[in-house]
Amino acid sequence: MTDPAPAPFPTAAAAPSIEDFDRMAEAAFAALPDWVRAAAGRIAVRVEDFAPDDLLAELGIEDPFELTGLYDGVPLIDRRADDLPGPPDAIRLFRRAILEEWIDRGDVALEALVAHVLVHELAHHFGWSDDDIAAIDPWWE
């Protein structure tokens, strides 16, 4: 008898790992419209347990559970043609804070919450309005 294939996402038996979150973020990115993926370019998506203390201090956040994600880069609307190249843009997802929000909500699939945080951080990259975000991620419907 062969073992069944592992579930693509976590089950109730264990807390989802960073690797599970990586897979959820990849699936969420792959589900975005083609034009969004193309415009996003090569944004790196990183999953960490928590935001580092120095970042929280810089943002004036005392509770690490309050920060679920962060866009780290220069928004497209703020770039100029003569800007020197900088570090690559990145989206950071904070696993423990997302898990806490997911547990507190109790009414949304974890995959949907990860996708929502990812889209919200992409919105910072693009300089999207709330209406722009809603066109991609109708979160409240």
The residue extents of the domains of the chain are 18-74+88-136
Going by pLDDT thresholds of 50, 70 and 90, the confidence category of residue 4 is low
Question: Would you say residue 68 has pLDDT above 90?
Answer: yes
Interatomic CA distance for residues 108 and 112, integer angstroms: 7
The CA-based dihedral angle spanning residues 23, 26, 30, 35, taken in that order and rounded to the nearest 10 degrees: 170
User: In sequence order, which residues have a C-beta less than 8 Å from that of residue 136 and are 6 or more positions away?
Assistant: 32, 33, 36, 119
Q: Which amino acid is at 6?
A: P
Total residues belonging to the chain: 141
Architecture of domain 18-74+88-136: 2-Layer Sandwich (3.30)
* 22-67 pLDDT tens trace: 999 999 999 999 998 898 888 899 999 999 999 999 999 999 999 9
Supply the pTM of this predicted model.
Answer: 0.81
Amino acid at 91: I
Tens-digit pLDDT profile for residues 77-115? 666 677 667 777 899 999 999 999 999 998 899 999 999
Does residue 113 contact residue 104 with C-beta atoms inside 8 Å?
no
